[in-house]
Amino acid sequence: MWKMGVQNLFSRPARSLLSILGLTVAIMGMVGLFSVARGIDALMSNTFKRVPGLIVLQTGAPVPLFSRLPEQWEPELKAMPELAVVNAELWQRANVVEGKMVVSPPRFLFGTDIATRKQLKHCVYQTAMIEGRFLIESDRNQPNVVVSRAIAKDYKKAIGDTLRINGDVLTIVGMYDTGLMLLDVAIIMDISTARTLTRFGEGSVSAYYLETQEGLDSETVAVTIEEHFRGREVPAIGSESLLTLNCGNGKSLLGNLLGSILNGTPKPTTNDTTIRENSEKSTALGETSDRAALSDTVDENMPVEVRSPEDWVERFEKINADLELILGVLTAIGVTVAVLSIVNTMLMSVTERVIEFGILKANGWTNGNVLRLILSESATIGVFGGIFGSSFGWGATVFINWKWSERIHLYASPGLLVFSVVFSIVMGTLGGLYPAWWATRMMPVDAIRRG
Amino acid sequence: MIIRAENITKTHRLGEHTVNALKGVSCEVPHGDFLFIVGPSGSGKSSLLYVMGALDEPTSGDIYIGEQRMAALTKKQRDEYRRLQVGFVFQSFNLLRNLNAIDNVLVPFFPQGVSPQLRKDATTLLERMGLGDRLLHRPNQLSGGEQQRVALVRAILKRPAVILADEPTGELDSQSGAEVFRILRELSSEIGSTVVVVTHDTRYIEAGDRILKMQDGQIIGEQTA
């Protein structure tokens, strides 16, 4: 019967091919859209697999870039018996590289304490070195940097070349390649060098990257650290470091945006009068209801929060859930149009073939048999639409990943591809239901006479 | 198998008009009979044929297949009746244009699956009809006579108890028409089928055993050939 269905379908090749094309485009769109969400999932998972340690941030800071912590807390952390290595980090955005404004992909100045960096068991950048060398003790206070292959390629640089960042001239001593979009954005240098270049507040760092002693549960260690600092205040830090990110009213636009996205907002430092005053002004204007709502989840007495790789992945999964909802709506629109096209095709086909169904019924075919024949035809459209749509969608993600490897990472998982084919078949079959029902409700003689 | 019609009426609605196609028709077709139903267009002969073949339902009255009242059959049983007991032949051949000759013959069996033996039987019958070299031809590659022979094989292959033919020679020349009746007579005798042929063409009625004459939805006469 399936063979007969396929024969029927291809007896009207142009119409059938157009229907298949319509569904192909819809399924391709679906694969493309959902591969964005899957890509983020995969990227997060792969990234944080490579960064297995804990990170201590200012409470509410979405990422280290928006976090400020006092440098004098480092000895306290190092004194904790649960921790094996404490590595101070300083993150700042590189706004101008080689005289060009950096928009996308972003580039970050990453200052790291070289001595403790070398003690890390899992140092993603050191293990990903492909050329030159990683930072050594003699790079302390020196304008030497390690960049990713992507950054070197972008600015056509090689080992030994200089790189102008925000007006300062740095020398490239090494090149790494983690293959991960989120990690290959760092221009790595000594933390003192970074502090000088970025005019980052004296006595402060962005975050601390930690490795725990072997065998300890990282969640337990995280709670221990947070409890250790409970009730403490983040001392005053220089606000000059925020200049590049803050707008006139003292609010970090990008920070607020990211904070909102990540369901957390950097808590104003206790003594940062400017930010606090502006925050109060905003409250008076009724602008901070969202911030207030978000801060509900923040423990005001906890100046730091410690995040494990799982925490990061969980946060991004929440964003992804919202993203998938939007993508689902977009896909639904495309698929609805495609299914309507199948309904139209099948309805036209069925109307033209009324006599055929009368003949089949006269020869003992049941309504169920006729229904199955028509559904097999519409399902065939679904099969082809699904296979083509998934294949082209997958091909498109491969092409996009290759062409814009630094800007976007799409992932059409085997599960997504199989789901797309099945979904397409289901949609194709559903598209044939009404025409099939229409065809079966007639008496055989009416069908023959109508024909 | 005896087919018995008791006081059958059939009313069609055509827009605002009501057409009484059958007005209390009663008749009986004994097992093995070769019956012609003749009459002018609109006399109700095709309507009677379709009701006998469970292609249509009477407005009132009863059709009996042997002792079984057709109105008492479930939809599934009526489908089974058409599939197993009745072979239809239509005026315009009614072959499926996407299928070749052999598949057109086998199409009634597609839902249940076609056994190799059945395919062999179909091939043998088609060859016997002189269509051995036309097995894989589609209807548009066959002449009218050839198409009707394919339709005949389709009706006969299942060895039905009843063959119902609606103007089977309506679109054929006289030579092909005569050939169709010769084959119909020959094959129905072989398998012991009852045959009911509706026609307004009286040239071939000598092939039958009995003739029912219809006019205005009623039987107006009966004669033995």
Length of chain A: 451
Residue A273 or residue B80, greater confidence: B80
Dump pLDDT digits (tens) for A255-292.
444 444 444 434 444 444 333 343 333 333 333 333 33
| Among candidate residues A38, A36, A35, A48, the one with its CA nearest the CA of residue A183 | A48
- What three-state secondary structure class fits B79? helix
In chain B, the domains with their CATH numbers are 32-46+74-224 (3.40.50.300)
Of B56, B82, B96, the CB nearest to A356: B96
Q: What is the 3-state secondary structure (H, E, C) of A356-425?
A: HHHHHHHCCCCHHHHHHHHHHHHHHHHHHHHHHHHHHHHHHHHHHHHHCCCCCCCCCCHHHHHHHHHHHH
Which residues 54-93 of chain B have a CB within 8 Å of chain A?
Answer: 55-57, 75-76, 79-80, 82-84, 86, 88, 90
Buried residues in A231-256 as b, exposed as e (16+ CB within 10 A): eeebbebebebbeebbeeebbbebbb
Across A143-152, B56-65, B173-182, least confident range:
B173-182
Q: What residue spans of A63-217 are helical by DSSP H?
A: 74-78, 114-117, 124-127, 149-154, 191-198
Q: Locate tokens 């580039």: which residue?
A: A107
User: Cα A182 to chain center, whole Å?
Assistant: 9
Contact call for residues A5 and A432 (beta carbons, < 8 A): no
Distance CA A395, CA A27 (A): 13
Of A1, A356, A443, the CB nearest to B111: A1
Distance CA B87, CA B82 (A): 7
Distance CA B192, CA A349 (A): 39
B208 touches A at CB < 8 Å: no
Q: Which residues does chain B have within 8 Å of residue A4's beta carbon, measured at their own beta carbons? A: 98-99, 103, 107, 110
Per-residue pLDDT, averaged over A413-432, amounts to 89
| Residue A135: both structure tokens together | 């930072």
A359–B90 CB contact, under 8 Å: yes
B206 touches A at CB < 8 Å: no
A441 touches B at CB < 8 Å: no
Of all residues in chain A, the percent with pLDDT exceeding 70 is 85
B80–A448 CB contact, under 8 Å: no
Per-residue pLDDT, averaged over B90-104, amounts to 87
| Residue B137: both structure tokens together | 């031809």
User: Cα B108 to chain center, whole Å?
Assistant: 14
Per-residue pLDDT, averaged over B25-31, amounts to 91
A11 touches B at CB < 8 Å: yes
Q: Which residues does chain A have within 8 Å of residue B150's beta carbon, measured at their own beta carbons? A: none
Question: Virtual CA dihedral for B125, B130, B136, B139, nearest 10 degrees?
Answer: -100
Per-residue pLDDT, averaged over B23-50, amounts to 90
- What three-state secondary structure class fits B70? helix
Cβ atoms < 10 Å from Cβ of A191: 25
The pLDDT of residue A250: 37
How close does chain A come to B59, measured CA to CA in Å?
14
Dump pLDDT digits (tens) for A99-149.
999 888 889 999 999 999 999 988 899 999 999 999 999 999 999 999 999
Across A71-80, A121-130, B204-213, least confident range:
B204-213
Q: Which residues does A87 contact at the CB level (< 8 Å), separation at least 6?
A: A112, A113, A116, A117, A119, A120, A208, A209, A210
Q: Locate tokens 């698929």: which residue?
A: A335
Alpha carbon separation from B118 to A360, B46, B81, B98, B181 (Å, rounded): 18, 31, 19, 21, 24
A323 touches B at CB < 8 Å: no
How close does chain B come to A426, measured CA to CA in Å?
22
- Give the residues across from A190 on adjacent strands: A112
A360 touches B at CB < 8 Å: yes
Q: What is the ipTM of this complex?
A: 0.86
The pLDDT of residue A236: 60
Mean pLDDT of chain A: 81
Contact call for residues B44 and B205 (beta carbons, < 8 A): no
Work out the pLDDT band at A451, boundaries 50, 70, 90. low
The pLDDT of residue B1: 63
